[in-house]
Amino acid sequence: MKKLFLVFTIASLTFVACNNKTSDSGETTTETTTETAPAETPESNVATVELNAGDDMKYDLSEIVVEAGQTVKLTLHHTGQSPATTMGHNFVLLKAGVDFDKFVLATATATEATDHIPADHAADVIAHTKTIGGGESTEIEFPAPPAGTYDFLCSFPGHAALMKGKFIVE
């Protein structure tokens, strides 16, 4: 906010200095106009992420980059046609240091009722969407974790082999 104020102040002074005019009588006059600085909106601190997944068991992104301190607004679209019971997809963001393979192995016994998040590994998850089927979308909001690189995956059994990526917080 301080940088924005400083930039606006310098720009305003430059604008006023450049608008000084000399009248026919030799006097210097200053034209002034009123400008307002763009308001800092809550949206400026929101990282909007659109993630697509289809019946081919692939996310369209293998890397998502956000800034520390942002609110992440992630929308997952299932672009396929298969129902959630046979080809469901979700987005699961794991905490730093979680053993990816161990988590994935545990998803084999997780159920639809928990969105395929293994109950004994729920504490390993930063955020996750519900599991959706073809033609559906779901959205979540969560604060970006501290700077670092995190794993994300689809926890529907067997999907994480192809549906995974890195969530990078700068």
Q: Are residues 54 and 1 in the same domain?
A: no
pTM across the whole model: 0.74
The pLDDT of residue 4 is above 50:
no
Question: Of 26 and 19, which is predicted with more confidence?
Answer: 26
Residues 13, 87 within the same domain: no
Which is nearest to 132 in space by CA: 94, 93, 73, 75? 75
User: Are 62 and 140 in the same domain?
Assistant: yes
* Cβ pair 66, 169 in contact under 8 A: yes
What whole-number distance in Å separates Cα of residue 148 and Cα of residue 170? Answer: 7
Predicted confidence at residue 42, as pLDDT, reads 55
Does 21 have pLDDT greater than 60? no
Nearest to 15 by CA among 26, 30, 37: 30
Query: How many residues would you count in the chain?
Result: 170
Q: Which residues contact 3 (CB under 8 A, 6 or more apart)?
A: none
Distances in Å between the Cα of 123 and the Cα atoms of 94, 111, 128, 129 are: 9, 16, 12, 15
CA distance 169 to 152: 13
Domain range spanning residue 104? Answer: 47-169
pLDDT band for position 43 (50/70/90)? low
- Report how many domains make up the chain: 2
Instruction: Read off the pLDDT of each residue in 46-55 and give the average, rounded to a whole number.
Output: 98
Claim to verify: residue 83 and residue 164 sit in the same structural domain: yes
| Domain CATH code at residue 138 | 2.60.40.420
- 1 and 82 share a domain? no
C-alpha–C-alpha distance, residues 39 and 165, integer Å: 35
CA 43 to chain CA mean position, Å: 12
Alpha helices in 35-99 (DSSP H): 84-87
**Is 56 found in the same domain as 30?**
no
